[in-house]
Amino acid sequence: MNNIPFFNYPDLFAQHREELTDVFQKVAECGAFIMQNDLVQFEQRLSEYTGIKYVLGVANATDAMQLLLKAGGVGVGDEVIFCTHTMVATASAIKFTGATPVPVDAGVDHLMDVVSVERAITPKTKAIMPTQLNGRVADMDSILTIADKYGLQVYEDSAQALGAKYKGRSAGSFGLGGCISFYPAKVLGCFGDGGAILTNDVGIYNTVKLMRDHGRGEDGNVSIWGYNSRLDNLQAAILNYFFDDYEKIIGRRREIATLYYNGINGIDGVILPPTVNSDIDHFDIFQNYEVEVPNRDELKEYLSNKGVGTLIQWGGKAVHEFKDLGFTQSMPFTENIMRISLLLPLNMSITDDEVDYVCQCIRGFYND
Ligand SMILES: *Cc1c(COP(=O)(O)O)cnc(C)c1O
C-alpha cells in the first residue's frame, strides 16, 4: 500500500535532523530568543531576495496584514475590498482594524476578479487587498490602474507567495505592503507560527517596527500603542537554515507541478493550474497545486483509499460563505471553485515515482 501524505513534517525533520539540531543548540546556548541577530539577518536576506526595501518579522501573517493596514491608516468607517477565494485571515485582519471587509469574486485564474473590484467601490472604500493565491500573483496592472483611478491604497495578502513574481516584480512590492506566512505548511515554513511584512514605504516600516514590540522605540520610549507580535529568534534561525535552499525548493516545486501537468492534462472536465512557462508575466512558486475536478469529493475518497492524501483548501468554503460572520453576498463563481477544487500533494518529501502514482490513480478514477 502506498502512503503519500499531503504533508510529511516528520520526514522533513528527518531529512535535516543534524543541521537543525545544531541550529536549536546554537540559539539555546546563546540564550538568543527575542529580537536577536538571527531575526535581523533573516529580515535582511528576505529584503535582498525580494528586492523590497524593508522586511520585519512578526508573529504570523495575519498579524502582518493587520499591522500593515493599521500603519497605513485603515480603520473605522473604511471599506477594504478583498477576494473571497482566500483564507478567512485576510478578512479578519481587515475586520480588526475596525474597517469593513468587502468580498469580491475570483476570476477564471482563481485570483481577484478585476471587474468585480470596480463594481464594489463605494465612497467608503479605502483599499484593495488581493490575495496572491497558491503562489501566483494576481493581475496587478489592472488592480493598480483601478486603485489609481479611485485614489485607493493597495495591500497584498502575499502569505503564500514568497518569491512569486509578476512582470519581474516580487509579490508584496506592488502597493503599500505585503505579508508572508511561515506557517509550517507554507513553502518556507518554520516550526510553529511566523510571519513578516514587506514594504517599500518607510512610514509603514517605522510604524510597524514600533507596533510589533509594544510601541517601544530603540530609546525605550513608547510613542504609540503597540502589540506583542514578534518573530521568535529561534524560528528565524530555522527559517535562515531553510532559506539557504529556497531557490532549490521553488525549483523542485515547479518541477513537481510540471510532472502533474504532464501526468494528468487532457482528462475530460479536469482543469489544471497554468504551467510553469504558460506566460512570461508570471513566475509561480506553487504553494499549492489546485486542480478543478468533476466529482471532487468522490475523487478525494478514492485517492485516500489508494494511500494518497489530498486537501480541500479551507474546508471548501469561500470567506463570504461563513454567514455567521455577517456576509450576505453570494458569489456563484467562487462558490463553484470551492466545490470542485482539490489540492494534490506537493512537498519536499514526495518523489517523482509517487507523483506518477498519484497521476495514474487520477486517470484510473476517470477511466482515462
Ligand atoms: C496561511 C495564510 C494566511 C495566514 O497566515 P498565518 O501566518 O497563519 O497567519 C493568510 N492568508 C493566506 C492566503 C494564507 O495562505
Residue 152: which CATH number? 3.40.640.10
257 alpha carbon – ligand 1 mean position (Å): 22
Stretches in the chain below the pLDDT threshold 50: none
Number of separate domains in the chain: 2
Q: Which atom from ligand 1 is nearest to the alpha carbon of 186?
A: 1
Domain boundary among 200, 224, 243: 243
pLDDT of residue 90: 98
Q: Are the C-beta atoms of 81 and 105 separated by less than 8 Å?
A: no
C-alpha cell at 258: 510540471
pLDDT of residue 368: 82
Give the containing element (helix H, strand E) for 300: helix 296-305
pLDDT of residue 162: 98
Which CATH number characterizes residue 319's domain?
Answer: 3.90.1150.10
Ligand 1 pocket member 183 (CB < 6 A): yes
CA atoms lying within 13 Å on the CB side of residue 232? 14
pLDDT of residue 2: 85
pLDDT of residue 50: 98
360 alpha carbon – ligand 1 mean position (Å): 32
Distances in Å between the alpha carbon of 294 and those of 318, 342, 344?
Answer: 19, 10, 15
Same domain flag for 258 and 228: no
Q: Which atom from ligand 1 is nearest to the alpha carbon of 195?
A: 7
Q: Which atom from ligand 1 is nearest to the alpha carbon of 62?
A: 9
307 alpha carbon – ligand 1 mean position (Å): 28
Q: Are the C-beta atoms of 150 and 128 separated by less than 8 Å?
A: no
Domain boundary among 210, 243, 276: 243
Give the containing element (helix H, strand E) for 104: strand 100-104
Parallel/antiparallel/unpaired status of strands 282-283 and 165-166: antiparallel
pLDDT of residue 128: 98
**Domain limits at 18?**
10-243
- Dihedral, CA of residue 264, residue 361, residue 187 and residue 338, to nearest 10: 80
Same domain flag for 140 and 191: yes
Q: Which atom from ligand 1 is nearest to the alpha carbon of 64?
A: 9
Give the containing element (helix H, strand E) for 261: helix 246-264
Same domain flag for 274 and 155: no
Which of 183, 186, 290 has the most ligand 1 atoms within 8 A of CB, as the residue to mutate? Answer: 183
55 alpha carbon – ligand 1 mean position (Å): 17
CA gyration radius for the chain? 21
C-alpha cell at 155: 495591500
Ligand 1 pocket member 89 (CB < 6 A): yes
Give the containing element (helix H, strand E) for 156: strand 153-156
Q: Are the C-beta atoms of 134 and 160 separated by less than 8 Å?
A: yes
